[in-house]
């Protein structure tokens, strides 16, 4: 009986910690990567503002070439939606919607995952001229992990979750545009 009592108290304490620790744990995930592309800013921006082009450089698109893509609206404009569905759980399912376009400079979009879990994040890509023929491209991500899911951030950082994929995607983008 004493062992059962100790076990129940220990289990209760563990469950309480799982719900208490996230109260004091970070909830914000911000990731940004930058690359220089040796092409004029206008050319780079016209390419990155089209969400359909992400299939040519995004690492997530390359993880499952059988991903089903559907599109609604006019690509490169506010309201355009790009949806994907994959049987590969590393890709999952979801959609992204263009929320704002600052012509020639930046595209902001909302990323909404539906599988393997639900989440909504803000993303952006920007192009800034360094010289007449070189452009600094930034790809960024901002998300707020809801309580108590933010407990995961103690074990895996946002940088680890998608930083490497952003870097690889930007290298692919650079390679595609500099051909």
Domains detected in the chain: 27-177 (3.30.530.20)
Whole-number pLDDT of residue 143: 73
C-alpha distance from residue 5 to each of 13, 14, 18 (Å): 12, 14, 20
Tokens, residue 129: 């001229």
Dump the DSSP string for 77-108.
STT-EEEEE-SSTTT-EEEEEEEEEETTTEEE
pTM for this prediction: 0.80
Whole-number pLDDT of residue 141: 82
Whole-number pLDDT of residue 173: 94
Beta carbons within 10 angstroms of residue 110's beta carbon: 15
pLDDT digit string, tens, across residues 126-141: 999 999 999 999 999 8
Residues of the chain with pLDDT under 50: none
Whole-number pLDDT of residue 19: 63
Beta strand pairing status for 81-85 and 93-102?
antiparallel
Under DSSP, is residue 118 helix (H, G, I), strand (E, B) or coil? coil
Under DSSP, is residue 56 helix (H, G, I), strand (E, B) or coil? helix
Whole-number pLDDT of residue 2: 78
Mean pLDDT of the residues in the chain? 85
């Amino acid at each position: 009986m004493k062992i059962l009592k100790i076990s129940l108290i220990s289990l209760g304490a563990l469950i309480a910690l799982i719900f208490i620790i996230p109260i004091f744990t970070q909830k914000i995930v911000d990731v940004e990567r930058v690359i220089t592309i040796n092409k004029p800013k206008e050319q780079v921006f016209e390419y990155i503002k089209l969400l359909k082009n992400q299939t040519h450089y995004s690492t997530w698109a390359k993880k499952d070439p059988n991903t089903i893509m559907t599109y609604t609206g006019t690509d490169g404009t506010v309201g355009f939606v790009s949806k994907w569905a994959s049987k590969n759980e590393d890709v999952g399912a979801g959609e992204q919607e263009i929320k704002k376009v600052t012509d020639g400079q930046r595209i902001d979009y909302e990323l909404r995952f539906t599988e393997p879990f639900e989440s909504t994040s803000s993303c952006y890509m920007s192009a800034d001229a360094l010289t007449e023929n070189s452009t600094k491209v930034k790809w960024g991500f901002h998300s707020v992990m809801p309580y108590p899911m933010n407990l995961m951030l103690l074990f895996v950082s946002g940088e680890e979750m998608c930083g490497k994929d952003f870097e690889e995607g930007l290298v692919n983008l650079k390679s595609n545009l500099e051909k």
